[in-house]
Amino acid sequence: MARYADPGAVEWVESGGGPLIAIPEVVLPFWSGADGDDMSSDYDRACDVEGFIGLVPVGDTRALVLGDEPASTSYLPEHGTFVRWCAAESEDELLAGVPAALAAAEWEREVQWNVPGPVVLFDAAWPGTASARTDHLRVALAPGRYAVRAAYVEPGPETWVGLVQLRRLTS
């Protein structure tokens, strides 16, 4: 995991150039990454997602693909949001702009995601069983149904951020 500031700063996950994916821990062994036996690998399916977000089947559930560009990404639990570092002079500058970005966001269409528990964010090219050996971030989501929406925001002249917000639904 990359760190861009002093200890205590958030941890960032980076990819080798493709999309990042958040997979429920319980189905990690079912994700083959780029090592698929079929004509199309799991990684290919993740790459086929158009736009900022999409869902792909994994085992008996679905994983959240963070598409568009391979930006360094972290999860801010206080905002229930994956934050994607598109441009900023520093981590502090980027994180300071998150509240303004959330307030100004023009959200894309929302998707519904049923989550059986904690998820692991990592480069979609890796097999799920190897995710612990690469950049990854465990996100302790409570089981349930979530509304997921995404936006790209420029909260400052040189600060650009991608947002993927998760909102737990009660019914």
**In-domain check, residue 118:** yes
Q: Which amino acid is at 52?
A: F
The model's pLDDT over 56-98, given as tens digits with 9 standing for 90+, comes to 999 999 999 998 788 899 999 999 999 999 888 889 889 999 9
**How many helices (H) and strands (E) are present in the chain, helices listed first?**
3, 10
Q: Please state, in angstroms and rounded to a whole number, the distance separating the CA atoms of residues 15 and 161.
A: 17
- The predicted model scores a pTM of 0.91
**In-domain check, residue 163:** yes
Split into its structural domains, the chain has a count of 1
**In-domain check, residue 11:** no
With cut-offs at 50, 70 and 90, classify the pLDDT of residue 1.
very low
Q: Are 65 and 82 in contact (CB under 8 A)?
A: no
Burial letters 130-168, b for 16+ CB under 10 A, else e? bbeebbbbebebeeeebebbbbbbebbeebbbbbbbbee
Strand partners of residue 63: 56
**In-domain check, residue 75:** yes
Q: Please state, in angstroms and rounded to a whole number, the distance separating the CA atoms of residues 102 and 167.
A: 13
Question: Residue 57 sits in which domain range?
Answer: 20-168
Burial letters 31-46, b for 16+ CB under 10 A, else e? bbbbeeeeeebbbebb
CB count within 10 Å of CB 85 equals 20
Structure tokens at 7: 């200890």
**In-domain check, residue 145:** yes
- Say whether pLDDT at 14 is over 70: yes
**In-domain check, residue 38:** yes
**In-domain check, residue 110:** yes
**In-domain check, residue 7:** no
The model's pLDDT over 112-158, given as tens digits with 9 standing for 90+, comes to 999 999 999 999 999 999 988 888 999 999 999 999 999 999 888 88
